[in-house]
Each structure stands twice: as C-alpha cells, then as structure tokens.
C-alpha cells in the first residue's frame, strides 16, 4: 500500500510540473462510463498523459481536479 501511495505521489508530481487539461488525457478501457466530471473506467485501464502512463484494473478520473483513483494491479510509467 505504501508503494502504491509513493507511485501515485510521483505521478502527481510529474503531472503538477505542467498544467494539464482534460483534452491532454487519453483513456482506454473495456468499459467506460462518464458521470458528470468523473470518468469511470474498468477492465484493462490505460490512462495516458504527456508525463505518464497509468495501467490498472479499474480507475476513476476526476476531470475537475485531475485526480486519478486507481484500483487493482496499478502500474505507473513516467515518460
């Protein structure tokens, strides 16, 4: 759990280096549902930005705060 928190903190720092807009984020998943500002992704989730790529079993992306809450096997690769 500490390792995941560290990885998400590193990703947040990478994203904080430059302002990001929703249009700079691309999503890929088996199932995708948008509910207001929250995009729910499930099944082989990939979230790409200029700074990182996140892969997870499922994730919620909050467009207003640019937060990602990922669950399951989570991997982050900084670019």
pLDDT digits (tens, 9 = 90+) for 17-61: 443 344 588 999 999 999 999 999 999 999 998 889 999 999 999
Q: How confident is the model at residue 70 (pLDDT cuts 50, 70, 90)?
A: very high
Burial zone of 3 (CB within 10 Å; 0-12 exposed, 13-18 middle, 19+ buried): exposed
Q: Of 35, 36, 28, 22, nearest to 54 (Cα)? A: 28
CB environment 49-58: b (16+ within 10 A), e (fewer): bebbebbbeb
Which residue is it, tokens 């948008």?
34
Q: Please state the domain extents for the chain.
A: 2-78
Cβ pair 76, 53 in contact under 8 A:
yes
């Amino acid at each position: 759990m500490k390792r995941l928190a560290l990885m998400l903190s590193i990703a947040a720092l990478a994203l904080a280096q430059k302002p990001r807009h929703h249009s700079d984020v691309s999503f890929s998943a088996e199932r995708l549902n948008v509910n207001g500002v929250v995009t729910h992704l499930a099944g082989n989730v990939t979230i790409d930005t200029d700074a990182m790529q996140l892969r997870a079993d499922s994730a919620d992306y909050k467009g207003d705060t640019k937060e990602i809450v990922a669950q399951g096997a989570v991997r982050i690769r900084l670019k």
